């Protein structure tokens, strides 16, 4: 990274406890190494966050937003981070609506109350090669089991891409689901060539879902916005819920709607500003 940007100011924010350091930096000059991101993400010696977010002017009509997971890997989407960015842009512009693009898609956000934001995450991608998977399968329920042959504890999860890959296991009780033990194993399973976010989804009612997520590159997280979107889509495709539901995550609640009109997924939830600072010297 260019030394001039080692003192870039950041805003620390979170959405349901899923936390971010947001920096504003020139698109072509800010390219942190994985080691730098890992150092900043360290919760004992750095800033501490699940994702780093860079907000840049790349010469297009809307700002460019890029994301890095805590392990230093660049990723194409972050739902809760997108809500935080939308809120920052609306505050800066004095408006009730914001629009920006990621390397993967264009995202719009709207105010939904006091420090509450709705973002349009676009249409889910459902084909096996869009997730992507290593081989062709029906993504409503792929051929994947965890546990003894013939008596798996988890099986036939759904798969969805919301700009990043998700696998969703349906469980009878999310509170006792083996998130910390199974999550890292599935995250790097050879069936997922780009890795995968692992959701453990308990459908409590047609409009109520309990979800816990092992996030690719970040681990067990208090909330995963794209994971909540993916869980709603995967559950609806299996006939387990409607097109709109409240998702209860460890950090709080999100409202998710999969629009029948345009196939887009809308996510509504709170954002919080924690503190500001500057990126530490490397």
| DSSP secondary structure of 65-121 | EEEEETTS-EES--HHHHHHHHHHHHHHHTSSEEEEE-SS-EEEEEEEETTEEEEE-
Q: Which residues pair with 52 in a beta bridge?
A: 21, 68
Tell me which CATH homologous superfamily contains domain 3-120+271-278: Diaminopimelate Epimerase; Chain A, domain 1 (3.10.310.10)
Domain 145-263: which CATH number of 3.40.50.360, 2.40.50.140, 3.10.310.10, 1.10.3720.10 = 3.10.310.10
Look at residue 25 in the predicted model and tell me its pLDDT.
85
Sequence-separated contacts (24+) of 92-96 with Cβ below 8 Å = none
Question: What is the rounded distance in angstroms from the CA atom of residue 32 to the CA atom of residue 55?
Answer: 13
Look at residue 105 in the predicted model and tell me its pLDDT.
86
Cα 221 → chain centroid: 10
Look at residue 28 in the predicted model and tell me its pLDDT.
75
**Angle ∠(219,227,110) on CA atoms, nearest 5:** 120
Q: How confident is the model at residue 282 (pLDDT cuts 50, 70, 90)?
A: very low
Assess whether 78 carries a catalytic annotation.
yes
Q: Where are the alpha helices (DSSP H) in 13-78?
A: 34-41
Looking at the predicted structure, is the pLDDT value of residue 4 above 70? no
Question: What is the rounded distance in angstroms from the CA atom of residue 7 to the CA atom of residue 159?
Answer: 40
Task: Give the tokens for residue 240.
Answer: 């387990």
The beta strands (E) that lie in the chain are given as 9-15, 18-24, 51-56, 64-69, 74-75, 97-101, 106-113, 116-120, 145-146, 154-155, 158-161, 165-170, 197-205, 208-215, 219-221, 244-249, 252-258, 265-270, 272-278
Assess whether 224 carries a catalytic annotation.
yes
Judging by DSSP bridges, how do beta strands 18-24 and 51-56 pair with one another? Answer: parallel
Kindly report, as residue ranges, where domains of CATH 3.10.310.10 are found in the chain.
3-120+271-278, 145-263
DSSP letter at 257 equals: E
Q: How confident is the model at residue 77 (pLDDT cuts 50, 70, 90)?
A: confident
Look at residue 6 in the predicted model and tell me its pLDDT.
57
Of 78, 159, 201, 229, which is the active-site residue? Answer: 78
Write the pLDDT tens digit of every residue in 187-208. Answer: 999 999 999 999 999 999 999 9
CB of 16 closer than 8 Å to CB of 117: no
Of 84, 159, 201, 224, which is the active-site residue? Answer: 224
Q: How confident is the model at residue 107 (pLDDT cuts 50, 70, 90)?
A: very high
């Amino acid at each position: 990274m260019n030394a001039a940007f080692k003192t870039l100011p950041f805003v620390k924010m979170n959405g349901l406890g899923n936390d971010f350091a947001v920096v504003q930096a020139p698109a072509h000059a800010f390219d942190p190494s994985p080691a730098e991101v890992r150092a900043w993400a360290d919760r004992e010696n750095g800033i501490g966050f699940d994702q780093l977010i860079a907000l840049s002017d790349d010469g297009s009509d809307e700002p460019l937003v890029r994301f890095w997971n805590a392990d230093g890997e660049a990723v194409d989407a972050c739902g809760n981070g997108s809500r935080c960015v939308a809120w920052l842009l609306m505050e800066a512009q004095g408006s009730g609506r914001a629009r920006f693009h990621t390397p993967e898609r264009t995202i719009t956000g709207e105010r939904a109350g006091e420090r509450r934001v709705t973002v349009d995450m676009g249409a889910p991608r459902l084909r096996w090669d869009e997730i992507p998977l290593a081989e062709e399968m029906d993504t409503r329920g792929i051929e994947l089991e965890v546990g003894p042959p013939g008596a798996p504890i988890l099986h036939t999860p759904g798969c969805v891409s919301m700009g990043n890959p998700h696998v969703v296991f349906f469980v009878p009780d999310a509170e006792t689901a083996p998130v910390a033990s199974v999550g890292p194993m599935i995250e790097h399973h050879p069936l997922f060539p780009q890795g995968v976010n692992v959701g453990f989804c308990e459908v409590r009612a047609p409009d109520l879902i309990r979800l816990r997520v092992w996030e690719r590159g970040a681990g067990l997280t208090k909330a995963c916005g794209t994971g909540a979107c993916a869980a709603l889509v995967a559950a609806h495709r299996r006939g387990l819920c409607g097109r709109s539901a409240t998702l209860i995550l460890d950090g709080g609640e999100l409202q998710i709607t999969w629009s029948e009109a345009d196939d887009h997924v809308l996510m509504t939830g709170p954002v919080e500003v924690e503190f500001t600072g500057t990126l530490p010297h490397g």
